[in-house]
Amino acid sequence: MKKFFLLGLIITSSVFLYAAGLRLGMTGAVKQKVKELDKKVREKKAATTTVDTSTVAVKMPIAEWRIDEPGTGAPWGIALDSVSNMYASEIFSNKIKKFSPTGTFITQWGSAGTGNSQFDRPKFIDVDGSNNVYVADNMNGRVQKFSSAGTYITQWGGYGNGNGQFNGPTGIAVDIAADVVYVVDSNNSRVQKFSSTGTYITQWGSLGTGNGQFQFVDFVNCQQGPEGDIAVDSTGAVYVVDNWNRRIQKFSSTGAYITQWGSNGSGNGQFLYPTGIAVDSTGAVYVIQGADIAKYAP
């Protein structure tokens, strides 16, 4: 199942997106960052472009519920399992929360720390075909795997730049058919591929602007945002949000570069700061930036 970025936008199981689908209890710092990014997008769009509504699918929520108390958790990632239960990560309360498809709270797990089932800013999450939950435990430099009930199963990673190590894991995507997990290693400017049990398989990427290179973090100005989301389509192709290069890159399952689109700007097909990505069953790609969602043909 696919996961999505929660700060301001959410995606439904039918893969339509809408703004403010959940009442988000963000902390002041996170809320201010989102407001600034959204303001930049809106100002430039208003000044230079007319939005092509054929590329945007906007939908009002059919239900809504609060994930956390105001200002306590900052919900970040969301994933749906095979029966549409929802899992949400909270980066500041260091918890994963599980809800029914109608929003009824089921369970939660996690606390601040470095031990098993503890987190330091969990970011994106995803769910496999057995409804196991994978969490990018960002500041602990690892991935943790849990059962759907929150029981700890395993972990892998550790701080560093070697094979299987991480420096700020952010995006995570499970290819259910292939039983593999892709992780964006943001500060190492690469994508790493693992088996579902954490065995290292391969990697690709480096810091730069060329094909197959990434800039998930603005190292020059020391800026970070909701960096490095990733998605997998039904053919096994991998899509990566290359945030500060303002583009989407597409790769084969082995990391071979296929294509890219996007550039810095506010026109159709351009990005000021893309943050989230999803691929539906037809192969259409949805990209989030600010409060806008763009849909691209397969």
pLDDT at 20: 24
More confident residue, 36 or 195: 195
Q: In angstroms, how far apart are the furthest CA atoms of the chain?
A: 51
The Cα 120–Cα 21 span in angstroms is: 26
Please tell me whether the overall predicted TM-score, pTM, comes out greater than 0.95 for this model: no
pLDDT tens digits, one per residue of 105-114 = 999 999 999 9
Q: Lowest-confidence range among 27-36, 67-76, 143-152, 279-288?
A: 27-36
The Cα 132–Cα 250 span in angstroms is: 26
The Cα 132–Cα 204 span in angstroms is: 26
pLDDT at 14: 31
pLDDT at 268: 84
| SS3 state of residue 140 | coil
SS3 content of the chain, % helix, strand, coil (to 5): 10, 40, 50
| SS3 state of residue 155 | strand
pLDDT at 217: 83
The Cα 143–Cα 134 span in angstroms is: 7
- Identify whether the C-beta of residue 21 lies closer than 8 Å to the C-beta of residue 61: yes
Go through the chain and tell me how many residues it has: 298
Both tokens of 171, joined, read 């995006």
- As separate numbers, helices (DSSP H) first and strands (DSSP E) second, the chain gives 1, 22
Contacts of 84 (CB under 8 A, 6+ apart): 13, 101
Average pLDDT of the chain to the nearest whole number: 80
pLDDT at 49: 37
Query: How would residue 141 be classed by pLDDT, with cut points 50, 70 and 90?
Result: very high
The strand ranges marked E within 158-256 are 169-175, 180-185, 190-195, 200-204, 230-232, 238-242, 247-251
Asked if residue 52 has pLDDT above 80, the reply is no
Both tokens of 204, joined, read 């690709």
What is the CB neighbour count within 10 angstroms for residue 257? 15
Residue 188 φ then ψ, to 5°:
-95, 0
The Cα 27–Cα 283 span in angstroms is: 35
Helix (H) or strand (E) holding 31: helix 28-48
Tell me the β-bridge partners of 250. 239, 259
